[in-house]
């Protein structure tokens, strides 16, 4: 199993550009999450999904959008990138929070200049 | 709302010393889950342990041990005989049983093991 796969690993964007961070899991997990990690800070939740077709905002959703058309994929869209979105982004998934842990992707390091 | 506090921003010890990383949490749920993750310099998040709120037994795994105390809302992590490879940022996290909104992380403790 590949687990949780994130692409790209690195990206530099110019202010105002848009991009999509891809996240795919092959474990048939229902729950998926997007976090961002800023220097010296813990991870903060951007959006999450409890299943295909269902998404909800986390702590820091402004400037981002998500969709969940399939169980496997949970892309994160950045519209009109701003320097404040410079961060490391992690995608995570879990089958059942009561009995399983969370599996994290390897992260995407995004710089907005 | 839930909260996780890791008061130690950075700890530096000499190799072979024991070190304890503190974690204090806040939650209104009676069912919750506590986690520790390791983030080495390479950046990935490595799962270390998961503990549910009904299981207060301490756990030992090799040089790692965890002390869960509901009375003080703490879930501390001890590394015995530390090694240079233990150098990393360690995160404590909380997941409440009543919601689906994932993990709440502390800010992390940067552990430096000097040779």
DSSP state string for A14-83 = -TT--EEEEEEESS--SEEEEEEE-TTS-EEEEEEEEETTEEEE-S--TTEEE--SSSSB--EEE-S--G
Give yes or no for residue A98 having a pLDDT over 70: no
Of A39-43, B65-69, B87-91, the least confident: A39-43
Q: State which residue of chain B sits closest to A51, comparing Cα positions.
A: B100
Residues of A in contact with B6 (CB under 8 A): 42
Q: Where are the beta strands (DSSP E) in A42-81?
A: 43-51, 54-57, 64-66, 76-78
Helices (H), chain A: none
pLDDT score of A99? 56
Say whether A42 and B106 touch across the interface (CB within 8 A). yes
Q: Give the pLDDT band (50/70/90) at residue A1.
A: low
For A90, the closest of B45, B50, B97 (CB atoms) is B45
d(C-alpha A51, C-alpha A86), whole Å: 28
Phi, psi of A84 (to 5 degrees): -65, -15
Range A73-98 average pLDDT: 92
CB A95 within 8 A of CB A75: no
**pLDDT on residue A112:** 96
Residues 6 or more apart whose Cβ sits within 8 Å of residue B71? none
Tokens 């690993």 correspond to A9
**Is the N-terminal amide bond of A73 cis, ω within 30° of 0?**
no
pLDDT value of residue B102: 86
Above 60 in pLDDT, residue A80?
Answer: yes
Q: For position A41, what pLDDT does the model report?
A: 84
Q: What is the C-alpha separation between B80 and B64, in angstroms, rounded?
A: 6
Is pLDDT above 80 for A89? yes
Residues in chain A within 8 Å Cβ distance of B104: 45
The residue of chain A with its CA nearest to that of B110 is: A40
pLDDT(B30) > 70: yes
| Interval A13-70: pLDDT, tens | 999 999 999 999 999 999 999 999 998 888 999 999 999 999 999 999 999 999 999 9
CB-based contact A40 B45, cutoff 8 Å: no
Question: With an 8 Å Cβ cutoff, is A32 touching chain B?
Answer: no
Report the pLDDT value the prediction gives residue A2, as an integer from 0 to 100. Answer: 76
* B19 CA: distance to closest CA in chain A (Å): 20
Question: Testing the interface with B: which of A10, A34, A37, A43 to mutate, by most B Cβ within 10 A?
Answer: A43
Q: How far is B5 from chain A, CA to nearest CA, in Å?
A: 10
């Amino acid at each position: 199993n590949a687990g949780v796969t994130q692409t790209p690993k690195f990206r530099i964007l110019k202010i105002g550009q848009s991009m999509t961070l891809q996240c795919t899991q092959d474990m048939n997990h229902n729950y998926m999450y997007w976090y961002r990690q800023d220097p010296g800070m813990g991870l903060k939740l951007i959006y999450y999904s409890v299943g295909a077709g269902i998404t909800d905002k986390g702590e820091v959703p402004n400037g981002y959008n998500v969709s969940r058309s399939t169980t496997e994929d949970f892309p994160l869209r950045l519209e009109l990138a701003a320097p404040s979105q410079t961060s490391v982004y992690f995608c995570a998934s879990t089958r059942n929070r009561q009995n399983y842990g969370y599996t994290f992707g390897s992260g995407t390091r995004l710089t907005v200049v | 709302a839930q909260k996780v506090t890791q008061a130690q921003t950075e700890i530096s010890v000499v190799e072979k010393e024991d070190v304890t990383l503190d974690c204090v949490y806040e939650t209104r749920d009676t069912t919750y889950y506590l986690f520790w993750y390791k983030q080495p310099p390479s950046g990935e998040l490595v799962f270390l342990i998961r503990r549910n709120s009904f299981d207060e037994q301490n756990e030992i795994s090799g040089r790692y041990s965890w002390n869960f105390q509901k009375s003080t809302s703490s879930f501390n992590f001890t590394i015995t005989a530390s090694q240079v490879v233990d150098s990393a940022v360690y995160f404590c996290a909380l997941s409440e049983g009543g919601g689906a909104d994932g993990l709440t992380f502390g800010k992390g403790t940067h552990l430096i093991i000097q040779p």
